[in-house]
Amino acid sequence: DTEVTQTPKHLVMGMTNKKSLKCEQHMGHRAMYWYKQKAKKPPELMFVYSYEKLSINESVPSRFSPECPNSSLLNLHLHALQPEDSALYLCASSQEGGRNNSPLHFGNGTRLTVT
């Protein structure tokens, strides 16, 4: 069982919709991440939050908007997406980003389809 919980597991949305992906962890981790994974490819980093502040944005289009309401929660707000944004979106957390290379713990992801 994963200790990082993502909801929903599946999401189908039209290009004009607004939706949000949610991620929650209760391991006391202070770094949280959003990754995007296309089929048969490795995950690609999108955003990193460290101590609830955005520390890395990997040049992600503004139609993806992250939010970290507290140290346990991470959201990804979606608006005006394109069909090519269809992918598996993975959330991850780690004890402390960067300094000691603590491993990332991944959730099972949200499978997003944009129609």
Partner 1 sequence: GDSVTQMEGPVTLSEEAFLTINCTYTATGYPSLFWYVQYPGEGLQLLLKATKADDKGSNKGFEATYRKETTSFHLEKGSVQVSDSAVYFCALSVNGGTSYGKLTFGQGTILTVHP
- Is residue 113 at the binding interface for partner 1, with CB under 8 A as the rule? no
- Is residue 5 at the binding interface for partner 1, with CB under 8 A as the rule? no
Alpha-carbon span 36 to 109, nearest angstrom: 9
- Is residue 50 at the binding interface for partner 1, with CB under 8 A as the rule? yes
Alpha-carbon span 19 to 63, nearest angstrom: 11
Segment lying near partner 1 (by CB under 8 A), choices 12-20, 66-74, 78-86, 106-114 = 106-114
Q: How far is the CB of 105 from partner 1 (least distance, A)?
A: 7
Q: How far is CA 90 from CA 20, 45, 99, 100, in A?
A: 13, 9, 22, 22
- Is residue 68 at the binding interface for partner 1, with CB under 8 A as the rule? no
- Is residue 60 at the binding interface for partner 1, with CB under 8 A as the rule? no
Binding-residue pattern over the window 71 to 90 for partner 1, x denoting contact by CB under 8 A:
-------------------x
- Interacting residues of 90 by C-beta distance below 8 A, sequence separation 6+: 6, 34, 35, 36, 37, 43, 106, 107, 109
Q: In this complex, which beta carbon is closest to partner 1, that of residue 83 or of residue 103?
A: 103
